[in-house]
Amino acid sequence: MLGAGVCAFFYWFALNVLVGVGRFLGGEMIAITVPPLVAASIASGLAMAIFESRGLGDTGLHWETGSRRNLLTGIGLGVGAAALVILPALALGLAQYTWIPNPDSNPYSMGRAAMFLPVLLFCGAMGEEVFFRGFVLQILMRGYGRWSAIFTIGAIFGLLHGFNPGASTLGIVNTALFGILFGAAILRSGDLWYPIGMHFGWNVILPFLGVELSGLTIRVTGYKLVWKAGTLWSGGEYGPEASVLTSVVLVLLGAAVWKIRVHRGRAYFLDPAATEDLPAA
């Protein structure tokens, strides 16, 4: 518990310094994506050195044979889950696309956004995973049990998103369930690339589908998805993560996470004496 608390303090301190720098240098989108990755890397790296005498890579960030496979598998699952939420709604007439007049919606600006947005969203997703599923989760897994730690950190992950615009009870619950699934993904794979891929895949596709991302409106195209159904189906201002459709898809995603074959990584919580209860990868 002490190690997790110290890591959280390091993260909070670094983030408060870096967000202002990011906002000054590149605006709001830079501020909410790049500083969390830098702060999480600093905090987790320091905590690993102090409490475990190890490096940041030992949290599951070593790039090795199979890491690419895990990352791409995770991205595919995240993109597929988002598509399962949006595409059936379109097919059933619950939503439709409409053009949004916007002076910035020209081929040059949209092309630039389409090029740089995935990079920024990857930084944001990786930053959250390094902090929540890196040292903090793994030291709690060793001290309090794997599933207790996964559920606890998942719940905290969801509650912290309650500060996002348009947050609702269902949105917080679904976000917490995502956090639990990302924790299950690192338990399944033994590396961070699997949950990083899932997190990024979900995050990156939503703006291109014209919907909100955890309450954030990010316009990449000149189209927006307009729902004909109520907020229970659309998620309202928070976006699809507050939709009952996502609740259903999360069940399918959970089954996929546990069944799809992945490469077994070398995250430090997977000491040789503690891997016998893991499913075959």
What is the per-residue pLDDT across 62-72, written as a single tens digit (0 to 9) for each?
A: 998 889 999 99
> Is the overall model pTM greater than 0.85, yes or no?
yes
Lowest mean pLDDT among 159-168, 185-194, 250-259, 271-280: 271-280
Instruction: Return the domain boundaries, the chain.
Output: 65-271
pLDDT band at 26; cut points 50, 70, 90: confident
Given a contact cutoff of 8 angstroms between Cβ atoms, the answer to whether 102 and 222 are in contact is yes
Q: What is the pLDDT of residues 224-245, one digit of tens each?
A: 899 888 889 988 899 999 999 9
pLDDT at 215: 86
**What pLDDT does 271 receive?**
59
The answer to whether residue 124 scores a pLDDT higher than 50 is yes
Distance CA 41, CA 45 (A): 6
Query: Does pLDDT of 278 surpass 70?
Result: no
Per residue, the 3-state secondary structure of the chain, as one string, reads: CHHHHHHHHHHHHHHHHHHHHHHHHHCHHHHCCHHHHHHHHHHHHHHHHHHHCCCHHHHCCCCCCCHHHHHHHHHHHHHHHHHHHHHHHHHCCCEEEEECCCCCCCHHHHHHHHHHHHHHHHHHHHHHHHHHHHHHHHHHHHHHCHHHHHHHHHHHHHHHHHHCCCCCHHHHHHHHHHHHHHHHHHHHHCCCHHHHHHHHHHHHHHHHCCCCECCECCCCCCEEEEECCCHHHHCHHHCHHHCHHHHHHHHHHHHHHHHCCCCCCCCCCCCHHHCCCCCCC
> Which segment, 1-5, 173-177, 205-209, is predicted with the most confidence on average?
173-177
Residue 110: pLDDT band with limits 50, 70, 90: low
Section 206-231 average pLDDT? 86
Mean pLDDT on 175-191: 94
